[in-house]
């Protein structure tokens, strides 16, 4: 019997959605195609196809995402939506060339009807209250940082929902791609091929009388400087940034050319976050977010100090240790996070953090 790529794709997406997967991986392995789901941060084997069947499946998914089916030599990215299990899913598709003219593909699943209050996202109540307090400001800039998969987009959408429903603000977003369609806000799709970059889009948005501007990601000096000017001109700006932690985001903005004076006047909050598995939480949440939040005098001390790494605040490491002490986070989860951090920093810095004893 011939392999039905369209029917199998529908089955694959249905199973991934049913299992609450965040991503689907199609990975070539010799003469086979390995299919894995990312569930609660872990890659879980789903099934294996012959390589020829997997190749047809990838071609079908590339066609659905409006990608070039015949080009396997360069990375491609696209998106499409699907009705799965009575839900609408936005699917972000990314391909990557592998050896011997083979190709791997990853699908990010983005449920559209998904909005969790920030109080439920956060493992601890204090950071959630701090974030809700910050979005009441009429102007200023709030930055969110964390590794891929740490829940930055979910945090942003949670705060967008709160601002739209509780504060009645005019909100405009700049996204690449638009991950969740929202009827109560204006969303602008970034399209660099058409000249709609973050910088160009942000200039246009400023003429559209927004109260709150959401920038999907600050990627370059021009966008960073326009975001700071937007905050200076009386808008509340929320955006994500690639940095190791909250303190590092401040230095990243300086590296992008935003002056210390502009940051002092505009920056009202910076967060770093990680998504962790929890042993027990409220109410029956399998994973929760740990936020470190820099604001007020602590944030100003980061801006004024001349040497990095001197800030004293509730870091993610301290909050994880608190989670372990309270029984929310297992020591295994703590060490999983620590090993991930070690790959990035400890090998180069030679620093060893205090850690709880293994059970």
SS3 of the chain: the string is CCCCHHHHHHHHHHHHHHCCCCEEEEEEECCEEEEEEEECCEEEEEEEEEHHHHHHHHHHHHHHCCCCCCCCCCCEEEEEEEEECCEEEEEEEEEEECHHHCEEEEEEEEECCCCCCHHHHECCHHHHHHHHHHCCCCCEEEEEECCCCCCHHHHHHHHHHHHHHHCCCCEEEEECCCCCCCCCCEEEECEHHHCECHHHHHHHHHHHCCCEEEECCCCCHHHHHHHHHHHHCCCEEEEEECCCCHHHHHHHHHHCCCCHHHHHHHEEEEEEEEEEECCCCCCCCCEEEEEEEECHHHHHHHHHCCCCCCCCCCCHHHHHHHHHHHCCCCHHHHHHHHHHHHHHHHHHHCCCCCCCCCC
Q: In this structure, are 59 and 88 located in the same domain? A: yes
Q: In this structure, are 185 and 245 located in the same domain? A: yes
Q: Give the model's pLDDT for residue 216.
A: 87
pLDDT digits (tens, 9 = 90+) for 122-132: 999 999 999 99
Q: In this structure, are 195 and 297 located in the same domain? A: yes
* Residue 179 domain boundaries: 118-340
Q: In this structure, are 102 and 123 located in the same domain? A: no
Q: In this structure, are 133 and 272 located in the same domain? A: yes
Q: In this structure, are 129 and 10 located in the same domain? A: no
Q: In this structure, are 127 and 104 located in the same domain? A: no
Q: Give the model's pLDDT for residue 191.
A: 83
CATH number, domain containing residue 128: 3.40.50.300
Identify the domain boundary among 60, 89, 110.
110
Identify the domain boundary among 66, 86, 110.
110
- Let me know if residue 351 belongs to a domain: no
CATH number, domain containing residue 31: 3.30.450.90
121: nearest Cα among 62, 161, 179, 173: 161
Q: In this structure, are 246 and 141 located in the same domain? A: yes
- Let me know if residue 15 belongs to a domain: yes
- Let me know if residue 317 belongs to a domain: yes
- Let me know if residue 359 belongs to a domain: no
- Let me know if residue 176 belongs to a domain: yes
Q: In this structure, are 262 and 310 located in the same domain? A: yes
Q: In this structure, are 72 and 165 located in the same domain? A: no
- Ranges of the chain with pLDDT below 50: 1, 282-283, 306-307, 309-310, 346-355, 358-359
- Let me know if residue 242 belongs to a domain: yes
Q: In this structure, are 98 and 131 located in the same domain? A: no
Q: Give the model's pLDDT for residue 221.
A: 94
Q: Give the model's pLDDT for residue 356.
A: 53
Query: Number of structural domains, the chain?
Result: 2
Identify the domain boundary among 54, 77, 110.
110
- Let me know if residue 346 belongs to a domain: no
Q: In this structure, are 59 and 184 located in the same domain? A: no
């Amino acid at each position: 019997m011939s392999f039905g790529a369209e029917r199998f794709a529908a089955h694959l997406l249905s199973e991934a959605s049913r299992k609450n997967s965040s991503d689907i991986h199609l990975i070539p392995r010799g003469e086979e195609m390995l299919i894995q789901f990312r569930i609660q941060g872990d890659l879980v084997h789903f099934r294996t196809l012959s390589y020829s069947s997997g190749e047809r499946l990838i071609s079908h998914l590339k066609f659905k995402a409006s990608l070039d089916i015949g080009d396997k030599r360069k990375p491609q990215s696209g998106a499409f939506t699907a009705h799965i299990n009575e839900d609408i899913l936005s699917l972000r598709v990314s391909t990557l060339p592998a050896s011997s003219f083979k190709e791997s593909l990853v699908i990010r699943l983005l449920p559209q009807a998904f909005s969790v209050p920030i109080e439920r996202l956060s493992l601890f109540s204090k950071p959630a209250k701090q974030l809700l307090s910050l979005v009441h400001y009429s102007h200023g800039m709030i930055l969110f940082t964390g590794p891929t998969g740490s829940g930055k987009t979910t945090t942003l959408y949670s705060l967008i929902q709160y601002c739209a429903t509780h504060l009645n603000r005019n909100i405009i977003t700049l996204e690449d791609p638009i991950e969740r369609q929202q009827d109560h806000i204006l969303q602008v799709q970034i399209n660099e091929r058409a000249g709609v970059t973050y910088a160009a889009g942000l200039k246009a948005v400023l003429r559209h009388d927004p109260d709150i501007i959401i920038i999907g990601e600050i990627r370059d000096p021009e966008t960073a400087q326009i975001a700071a000017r937007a905050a200076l001109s009386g808008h509340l700006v929320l955006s994500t940034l690639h940095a190791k932690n909250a303190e590092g985001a401040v230095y990243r903005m300086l590296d992008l050319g935003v002056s210390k004076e502009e940051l002092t006047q505009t920056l009202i909050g910076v967060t770093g976050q990680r998504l962790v598995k929890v042993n027990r939480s409220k109410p029956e949440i399998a994973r929760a977010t740990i936020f470190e939040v820099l604001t007020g005098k602590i944030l100003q001390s980061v801006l004024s100090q001349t040497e990095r790494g001197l800030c004293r605040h509730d870091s993610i490491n301290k909050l994880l240790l608190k989670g372990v002490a309270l029984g929310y986070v297992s020591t295994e989860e703590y060490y999983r996070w620590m090993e991930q951090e070690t790959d990035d920093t400890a090998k180069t810095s030679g620093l060893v953090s205090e850690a709880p004893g293994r059970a």
